[in-house]
Amino acid sequence: MDQYLDYYFNFLAVEKGLSDNTLSAYSRDLTSYSAYLSQKEQVTDPDNITQSMLLGYLTALKSNGHSPRSRARVLSSLRGFHRFLLREQYANHDPSILIESPRTLSSLPRLLSQKEVERLLLAPTGDSPIAVRDRAMLEVLYATGMRVSELIGLRLGDLKLDIGCLNAFGKGSKQRLIPLGEDALDVLQEYLQNGRQKLLKKGLSDEVFLNVRGKKLSRQGVWKNLHAYAIKAGIKQKVYPHMLRHSFATHLLENGADLRSVQTMLGHVDISTTQIYTHVIQSRLKKIHQQYHPRG
């Protein structure tokens, strides 16, 4: 099966243009699947994979504690792989075609209140290059709704500060122009003028956000710093970068933005993905009604 996996990963990387993180997720899913087929079913030829074998793998995942959401994601990976094998004539059938996705409970995304966001943005204090960088990093995340992978992938050429915007490259290397807003623009310019050059020292790099060694800031670095600032800001819940993206979208809609504009700024292909944030607002309004209405 290894050669077919290599063909598929090459297709995903070259023709689909998927990010390294997405490719890693596919690799984990399909490598595990291939190992199961080889060890449990003694199958290495795609033509010999049956629907019952695929169902057996999903059942094994369930027995190992994988949630319905996790199994649905894995099934999506397997479907893509088997469709590819059939289309490229590496296999004569698709064993996944009639399998239904495990039922998942639609959970609403976790987010910060506007007051919590304000406290978080004020958490990096001082004039050190790291503090200046982190103020800019948090402001840009919240002002644009960018994914953390998009943030750390920003290059100087992506900044359009003369028009108050930046270019973000999302999933599938799709590009979109996002406005920054005055506060984020001011803090970002301060970082570029007073913080970034000190971090860069005598090195060369066109990445916007740098670590203490003057290299590209990592995802882990963003997570670590955000966690520390959330504690400093007195935020009780666990905070992760995507919460700022959820908060960005929800706060825009709460303040009157239209769904299509939010969809464009988030880079969602399907507006149904953006509509989850309208459910967040409805849920919050319902809680407020129950809490404060005399007959709630």
Q: What DSSP string runs through 242-270?
A: HHHHHHHHHHHHHTT--HHHHHHHHT-SS
Per annotation, catalytic residue among 71, 82, 135, 268 = 268
**Is 196 tagged catalytic?**
no
Residue by residue, DSSP assigns 102-147 as PP---PPPP---HHHHHHHHH-S-SSSHHHHHHHHHHHHHHHH---
| 181 CA to centre of own chain | 22
Can you tell me whether residue 89 is helix, strand or coil? coil
Looking at residue 237, the DSSP 8-state letter turns out to be S
Name the 3-class secondary structure at 169. Answer: strand
Identified catalytic residue from 171, 219, 227, 232: 171
Name the residue with tokens 């990096």.
124
Catalytic residue check, 171: yes
Known catalytic residue at 277:
yes
Q: Which of 110, 198, 219, 242 is catalytic?
A: 242
151-188 residues labelled b (16+ CB within 10 A) or e (exposed): bbbbeeebbeeeeebbebbbbeeeebebebeeebbebb
Please tell me which residue in 82, 147, 246, 251 is annotated as part of the active site.
Answer: 147
Is 268 catalytic? The answer is yes
* H/E run at residue 167: strand 165-169
d(CA 176, CA 146): 10
- Give catalytic residues, as residue numbers: 147, 171, 242, 245, 268, 277
